[in-house]
Amino acid sequence: MKKTFKLTLGIVAGLAVALILIVLYQNSYKMTEEKIQITTPKGLLTGTLALPKNYSEKVGLVVFVHGDGPINDTYDDGYKPLWEKFASKGYASLSLNKPGINSAPGNWLDQSMEDRAQEIRYAIDWARTLPMIDTQKIGLWGASQAGWVIPKIVKEEHDIAFSILVSPAVNWISQGQFNTRKEMEQEGATPQEIQKTLNYDQEILQLLKKHASYEEYLSIADPEDMISKERWSFIGKNFRSDSTEELSHFHSPVLLVLAGKDINVDVKDTERVYRQKIPAELLSVIHLPEADHSMMDEKIARSKSLTFLTAVFTPRKLVNDEYLKFLADYVNQWKPHNVFS
């Protein structure tokens, strides 16, 4: 009996060790990560620089521009599969903590889209001073809300090599209406319920347009869906955001990535606007039918338990495979030669 118990205990311990080793292996990436600090006239920026391993000459750089929300430099490790792909093609990745996140100074809810663009310009200026970076091969990657930020960056930074825009927003107001409708449809709401919510949103929009105080907002606010005072201020700064005319600032190649299961952004309208405003010779468009707004496969994204298990045991599978391959192939067009020893 004792021998059987010891044998069982040994098997359990062995399985536990094997499981730990699998998790560690799956969460190890073929790149080098360095925590960085950048001193700017507006304060300190913090983040991560992910570099290819064993590079011998200058490498290119992709600077990351986040979407909405309190996002840290690694996007809770969600960026790492993409950083690894870029590293395999001879590209470093640079990503910042939003102000107030990971002990970074400031508060991201105090920022306008122009503030966010200026922050990235400072990061690019800093990156140009690094001896390993090929300054002719600095590109941008940005998702969702970055659709309002990146056009502002390229307006001032004329030597950006390329821009990758993933599910980018175009017009704040119409995007919000589209997202509300799609989320409610997915939850099974009736047309009447959807219209009631859209009417309520219009009331809030009218308050924003007349620069109403937070107290005025509270007088009509839905107690089950309250906006915080900081968020109200953030929306007030940015709700007029519209990238339509600013898309004309692009003078280098643009890759537009659109997801078939996106309920945040109207991808058909986004593609229409981009094709109208960006010269055809600069614009490439890819469609990923099974991906959602965050480039996860929809089946995984819909299940919290499946998302958690995938993140722990096979984190690279959180991101749509086609997406990773397309982006790696895209930056490979500007791959620096002879970067690896």
DSSP-derived secondary structure for 17-28 = HHHHHHHHHHT-
**Start-end of H helices in the chain:** 2-26, 80-88, 113-128, 146-156, 172-186, 191-209, 214-218, 229-238, 267-277, 298-301, 304-313, 321-332
User: For position 253, what pLDDT does the model report?
Assistant: 96
User: For position 302, what pLDDT does the model report?
Assistant: 62
**Token pair listed for 326:** 């397309």
Q: State the first-to-last Cα distance of the chain, in angstroms, to the nearest integer.
A: 58
Residue type, 184: M
Q: Are strands 43-51 and 91-96 parallel, antiparallel or unpaired?
A: antiparallel
Cα distances (angstroms) measured from residue 83 to each of 53, 64, 251, 282: 12, 10, 25, 24
Low-confidence ranges of the chain (pLDDT < 50): 12-27, 336-341
DSSP-derived secondary structure for 44-98 = EEEEEEEE-TTB-S-EEEEEEE--SSS--TTTTTTTHHHHHHHHHTTEEEEEEPP
